[in-house]
Structure 1
């Protein structure tokens, strides 16, 4: 624990972010700040959905020694064991090491597992059931590999800027659609027996400057990671919203982010972790650091961090802010014993809540190698044994992946060329239609854009068990139909392409893409975040050329978000445009299903397709703006991102948020509203119990020496033990010996009963339970006026009515199957939270006096029906 880093602790009331100019250095008084919030809340033994797990966890933790508790909280170090992150085991009580492993679209770096569609593609289905089924399947596969915590789903980034590198890992730019995606995925994963980890909390909206070391590698001399400067209202109404839904769904863990928020690091920001997450939202699980996102020891402990990942201060140093130092911090009174008790309690409660037992199958893979035999302790090259059992966990998930990818494909334009009906001659054009010549896993963590794009790059990826290319799937369908079929699988053969698509009877299908990913990989100058919103590899010229040579050109887009289609989308020779997102392993089959009408498209765009990059408003900060100090990223747009920004500016769009076509037609009618009998909102009152502790522990340092007679020391492995009874030497900290009073903020170690926040839920995770009371039920009739069966996605939007509110905000939706000529009733509900704004003075949700109007329509700008809420 370094005293010099303690200034990063400060968290508290989130103040409005100042406006900064790109000058050499911003004066400290103009930089957004967070004030401290302490103590760190301890678990509530009566919290909804957690009571039984709490009892089991309390019984288990009460048996632990201090060293064993610390072992649960501290990672064993990068490459210490088989997973990307593990904590120490407690063999005395039969608990094996807990395995934390990527990722939000499947198991990373393993074999015989599935590669699922991205969160964003799944959100485009607007189908709660498919979201849940995907979560369950991913959780099932992770459990089958021996994984304890799967590091997803993602709500940060939410997609503040369309160029954001990891937007595809999340769901949508809208907090409600993202929140529903989070809740359904969490429920699915945890019902399957794997703890979900909602990430990255919070304001983690760009890759550039997210870590100082990474930035130095790209030639930027900054001393601290960027600061996302977010005001209180924006935090609650946009960025915090989907995390509240994940907590309400019972998520077991939450990962704090690399970035700072209001100039306090996310993993030691007491405002974020103690106040918003654990107090206001009543989160009962454990907070895990992102890998190397921990910057202090005692300071991060009292600020609310519960688990350090991967445990070492930097990869493969063998040093840790916790481990030995956390043991010493408790022994010398710097960190109160109840705080470490609470860390262990939260970790074990999450395990018991999801698994019900400490019995777990062995970890049967190694992230570090595909070899069957090798060292368990990879960096130390010790413990040689079978480390990869090559267990096949895929079951029949390929069919689910195909269904989600097809139902997540958005039909943006169709002048009648689709669905295909045994076309005479198909010409498929573009590198994105074919296979990577080095194989589907030919680039480390998919850090390239070669062949068809099934996923982005970075730690959020998974290993393809296979990848069905569009070329192979469409060729198979053409052979089945007796169609002529040829393909040119490059973007750079204009003569051959022209000769092919200029022939008679050609239906030309052009596949183009854009890519993005995590910041540690640079692909063609894109350091995670995209440099622009254009298509990659000459894609725009390819589309324009083919459409100039062929009057029946269909364009398929694989992208991590919007691209600019302005130059060619309205070309009459382009008869159809489809966005297929990042579809996973069944890519070709899923797009064939849509093109041929086996799946009638009903997907809706989870973001807006603007005419210019500037119309989106918020952008990536690509160059440091604060000298050598932390770059300052000001969220001055507030809640006005994506469609909210376009509506505020009155900007034209190509395709709005929520837009998507079908092969049939629908009519909306007969909107009605029914007011519920929900009572008046009452703030939460009362106090917590005092902080519990689970028994005494020895204060004799000799009791914590490394037990060399019990097991051998492993190189670079992080232990809770001391190597000497000289505390200062054992800590390896030159500042060791300072007391808590010398550097920790007031109340950081308080253990007495604490008052509930008025906005908190008391026993209800997710906030005051009355926020989720249903206030209105709205119904409308949806009629299929076409000739074929189809699915429709009616959407409920709300005008909150205030001068500073967005024009409309999404509040509910459904995906309905309707037969030709049939009418189905759409039912939507508005909760108290849906109708409320965050009051920064009252520090609570309040329904304003402004007129509220509900709209039911087929997109954010096609609002067929409206009704005023009385």
Structure 2
């Protein structure tokens, strides 16, 4: 957002603001404006872009530089202001584009190649629409509370998993030639009370996240190291507060941590209402927005990303309006379909309920199975949404609103499949259906003169109970009536929320009642759930008639096809959870509030697996001798250079002892010495592998110095603790199959 805030620049500030010194100024105000020019940060791959930016700005007057940082064109130099759009699921609110899976959905795959592939495809559509900045990926909302309205955007509450996906996304977007804008920096963890009143001193709104130094580094900053190391050119600061100060005016966050500690060379841009005052935001480290305070360094940061991704080569098409017929979809629908199916998690599968194989009859239940009355898109809103969607939910709202050119629903996909298989379909596409019968009940005269199915005039209590006709298609149109005679019952449910308001529930009474009603009348009930975040399942997950559960995020335009691919076994459901599913709401132990204290440093995930694997061997190899507890390299983009050194490798051999080929996500967890004050175990590696039945494969986990370091609050640096480390590999944090220990330090 741009605020028209004009302040007279005092003479005492002018030299500080405009100076392009060879070393950082001693003043606390704008203390890092000289980082790029002074050589305090080794720019590496960014150096050529920096030199081009300096040359370009050397042609500008002061007035033109001010136009640049306020998002205006500079006609004299043929500079057109950068076009910036959300989001991870494709350019927000454009026509003739692909409706991609949401950010959380692609992380459910735990597949690094698929994560990169989708972000590359998304970036290509930004590029071809003439958009220079993709406001993606979204690391945070991280997930300190399951009630957060924007969990669907985030890339997992686990900082390591989040960081790997965040870095892959940043690199994929940059490689295509689009500037990646990571968000939200930092601790934008709930929607309630998020909105700023425009005052940086307000005690009512927005809320403040109060966090200690260790938690700030090890949990919330952790993913941004990955993003910046991998070419992120823009960072969006949040509209909320951290430790009592607006994020976009927070000198500690932006100047000291982001630009100095992580060595970020690019532009900091504000979220809506993130800029409270011109002076405060300029001093805090904001680079873009209406302000009379500026510096050469600020101007350089506005254009360095442009040169870094080679947008100056003249190849990008001109920007177009949201409604213009510029079709950028290509073959991206297949990317969406693959990502959606691979990202579904099989939470339960008893009695060989799945995969389906030409069932004689299927009964479909729930609004989530079919089309909404008007759709597929819904109006853009930042006022929250949900708690459920009365149609098939495949995309989010707010800044991550999916622009569907089409939407394949499960009902449509099942109809197509049933047509090919000869399966009989019935459906009730409603979560609260209560009518006894829509079709008229036949009279005695009807029974005397009409044949229904195989019955000739005699009523029967078979089928769905009451006045129904077993052996035919004339059944009482109720949940029970349609469930009783079906070979398989498919119940579709969802949970929706969106930007601007937090979730109001983690379960839904109507949907849970529907599941239990169907299961009471159908001993082969399969539940398909798509949700924006954790969804409590305890009211029916142990029901013996609920034979299978598929659980996932919002899958995009091919959602119905992706789900059917899994239901019928065309794709192995190899997704894994990215958050904890609790038994009760109280198990999460977090509340929505104005004073937030997110001291939890990591979340344990409960992750299912469907390949019977055996980890036989676990070995290690130390690549580089660890001579120093702290990194000693020079400061570079992404932190000190040796912070990223690979120093240790763990390798395992995995056998598939099952009867089917399948994918497994091998996960490496580390237990740190007590000195580190770390969680019981921390995820520090994962690899998704396809293993044939009876075959084996070797998996290597390369650990970097950062993976074995904790934040030393006294030394204010990352440190490798002295003591015993345990490295464990398995299918989840609760299913560890092999381990090895090693002592580091003296």
- How far off is 1:223 after superposition? 4.4
Q: Which residue of 1 aligns with 2:558?
A: 586
Alignment of 1:542-621 (within 5 A): 542-621=514-593
Residues 141 and 42 (structure 1), Cα distance of their counterparts in 2 relative to 1, 3 Å cut: same
1:141 counterpart = 2:76:
no
Task: Supply the distance in 2 between the matched residues of 1:40 and 1:56 (Cα, whole angstroms).
Answer: 18
The equivalent position to 1:668 in structure 2, one of 615, 632, 644, is 615
Equivalent positions of 1:125-524 (< 5 A) are: 125-213=109-197, 223-308=204-289, 320=290, 322=291, 326=292, 329=293, 340-357=295-312, 359=314, 361=316, 363-367=318-322, 370=323, 389-415=324-350, 416-445=352-381, 447=385, 449-494=389-434, 495=436, 496-519=477-500
User: The residue matched to 2:505 in structure 1 has which SS?
Assistant: coil
Q: Pairwise mapping of residues 20-169 of structure 1 onto structure 2 (< 5 A)? A: 38-43=31-36, 46-74=42-70, 87-169=71-153
> Would you say the 8 A contact 2:32–2:259 is kept in 1?
no
Partner Cα distance (2:377, 2:224) in 1 = 32
The structure, 1 or 2, with the larger RCO (C-alpha pairs under 8 Å, 6+ apart) is 1
Following superposition, the deviation at residue 638 of structure 1 comes to 3.4
Q: Kindly tell me: are residues 2 and 96 of structure 1, through their superposed partners in 2, closer, same or farther at Cα, counting changes over 3 Å? A: closer
Please report the RMSD computed on the Cα atoms of aligned residues, expressed in angstroms. 2.2
Which position in structure 2 is the counterpart of 1:840? 713
Are the equivalent residues in 1 in contact too, given 2:366–2:430 (CA < 8 A)?
A: yes
Map 1:434-833; keep pairs closer than 5 Å.
434-445=370-381, 447=385, 449-494=389-434, 495=436, 496-519=477-500, 528-535=501-508, 538-621=510-593, 631-635=594-598, 637-640=599-602, 642-643=603-604, 656-657=605-606, 659-662=607-610, 664-681=611-628, 762-802=634-674, 804-833=677-706
**Do 2:140 and 2:155's aligned partners in 1 also have CA atoms closer than 8 Å?**
no
TM-score, L = length of structure 1: 0.74
SS in 1 for 2:184: strand
Q: Offset of 1:299 from its aligned partner?
A: 2.5
Cα separation, 1, equivalents of 2:635 and 2:79: 29
Alpha carbons 1:683, 1:768 under 8 Å: kept: no
Tell me if structure 2 keeps the 8 A contact 1:206–1:620: yes
Shift of 1:639: 0.8
When normalised by structure 2's length, the TM-score is: 0.86
Q: Secondary structure at the match of 1:167?
A: coil
Give the conservation status (yes or no) of the 8 Å contact 1:232–1:840.
yes
Structure 1 residue 230: Cα displacement: 0.8
Q: For the residues of structure 1 that align with 2:36 and 2:597, how far apart are their CA atoms?
A: 34
Task: Say whether the 8 Å CA contact 1:41–1:279 is kept in structure 2.
Answer: no
Query: CA contact under 8 A between 1:38 and 1:270: conserved in structure 2?
Result: no
Q: Offset at 1:497?
A: 3.4
Encode CA deviations 1:540-585: one digit per residue, 9 max, x unaligned. Answer: 1111111111110000111011111111101110000111210010
* Matched length: 669
Matched residue SS, 1:196: strand
Q: In the aligned structure 1, how far is the partner of 2:333 from the partner of 2:426? A: 27
- Name structure 2 gaps, 5 residues minimum: 9-27, 437-476
* Deviation of the 1:831 alpha carbon: 1.6
Give the whole-Å Cα distance in 1 for the aligned partners of 2:659 and 2:597: 51
Residues 613-663 of structure 1, C-alpha deviation per residue, up to 9 Å, x if partnerless? Answer: 121233322xxxxxxxxx32122x3314x31xxxxxxxxxxxx43x1333x
State the secondary structure of the residue aligned to 2:654: strand
Matched with 1:861 is 734
Q: Contact 2:348/2:548 (CA < 8 Å) preserved in 1?
A: yes
The 1-side partners of 2:742 and 2:560 are apart by: 46
Contact 1:95 1:358 in 2 (8 A): no
Task: Report if aligned partners of 1:798, 1:855 keep a CA contact under 8 Å in 2.
Answer: yes
Compared with structure 1, are the counterparts of its residues 239 and 142 closer, same or farther at alpha carbon in structure 2 (3 Å cutoff)?
same
Q: Secondary structure at the match of 1:842?
A: coil
Aligned residue in 1 for 2:449:
none
In the other structure, the counterpart of 1:333 is none
Asked if the contact 1:104/1:461 (under 8 Å) is kept, the reply is no
Equivalent pair of 2:7/2:278 in contact (CA under 8 Å): no
Aligned 8 A contact 1:258 1:290 in 2: yes
CA contact under 8 A between 1:105 and 1:169: conserved in structure 2?
no
Q: Is the 8 A contact 1:40 1:303 kept in 2?
A: no
**Shift of residue 682, structure 1, vs aligned partner:** 7.4
Deviation readout 1:666-690 (Å, 9 max, x if unpaired)? 2222111112224423767xxxxxx
8 A contact 1:678–1:774 mirrored in 2: no
Distance 1:568 1:682 in 2: 50
Equivalent residues of 1:200, 1:254 under 8 A apart: yes
SS in structure 1 at match of 2:620: strand
- CA deviation vs aligned residue, 1:745-787 (integer Å, no higher than 9, x gap): xxxxxxxxxxxxx7xx645211112222222211111112223
* Cα drift, residue 161 of structure 1: 0.6
**Long gaps (5+) in structure 1:** 5-34, 75-86, 216-220, 309-319, 330-338, 371-388, 520-527, 622-630, 644-655, 685-757
Q: CA deviation at 1:41?
A: 4.9
Contact 2:433/2:478 (CA < 8 Å) preserved in 1? yes
1:393 is displaced (CA, Å) by 0.5
How many angstroms apart in 1 are the aligned matches of 2:482 and 2:554? 27
Corresponding residue SS for 2:152: helix
Relative distance call for 1:414 and 1:183 in structure 2 (3 A) is: same
How far off is 1:610 after superposition?
Answer: 1.0
Deviation at 1:233, TM superposition (A): 0.2
CA distance in 2, matches of 1:822, 1:485: 40
Q: Distance in 1 between matches of 2:507 and 2:99?
A: 26
Deviation, 1:359, is: 3.1
- Partners of 1:237 and 1:808 lie apart in 2 by 14
Cα distance 1:638–1:3, how it changes in 2: closer, same or farther (>3 A)? farther
Structure 2 distance, partners of 1:277, 1:366, is 34
CA–CA distance in structure 1, aligned partners of residues 516 and 485 of structure 2: 19
Displacement of 1:93 in angstroms is: 1.7
